[in-house]
Structures are given as C-alpha cells and as structure tokens.
Amino acid sequence: MVNLYAFDRLAFSEKTDHTLIHGTFVLERLFKDYKTELYHLNGYFVEVLYNNAHRSIIGIASLPEKAVFQKYTEHISLEALY
C-alpha cells in the first residue's frame, strides 16, 4: 500500500486508480452538479470530486484526519475503520 506522502506524489491518474482499487469507500456527499466520495486508504483519507453532468473525476486529494472530522463527522462513524 502507498502511504500518504507517496500518494501525494502520484500523478492524477495514478491517484485515481490507487484510490478506486485499494480504497475503502466511506460515503458520498451530493451537490447540485457535483458529488464527493470519501475513501479510506492505509491510515489516511482521499476525497474524489466528480462532475455529475460529465460523469468524470475532476479532482482528487488526500485529507488529513482533522479535515475529515470537520467536513464529515455529522455523516459518518469512523469506528469500523480502526
């Protein structure tokens, strides 16, 4: 598995592939034209941003645990991941 620092150095397509193959899907948040999906990988989280109209990934970023708690705590329980 790739650690957080190695993940951040991957190319966009490599980040996408690694996340979708090795990540554990946690949840999604829906917006008007976009959705974000949160994945857990090897002790860190990755957020994938989709454009719903074009059915394409337009962004992907690792998130520190603190950011996940600030953005997602009302939506999920992370107990099962640890």
Give the tens place of pLDDT for each residue, 24-54.
998 888 888 999 999 999 889 999 999 988 9
Phi, psi angles (nearest 5°) of residue 61:
-155, 145
**Alpha-carbon distance 34 to 81, whole Å?**
26
Q: How confident is the model at residue 80 (pLDDT cuts 50, 70, 90)?
A: low
Domain interval for residue 34: 4-81
For the chain, how far is it from start to end, CA to CA, in angstroms? 17
pLDDT of residue 42: 84
The pLDDT confidence band at residue 63, using thresholds 50, 70 and 90, is: confident
**CATH code for the domain in which residue 43 is found:** 3.30.67
Cα–Cα distance, 9 to 19 (Å, whole number): 14
Domains identified in the chain, total number? 1
At 74, is the secondary structure helix, strand, or coil? coil
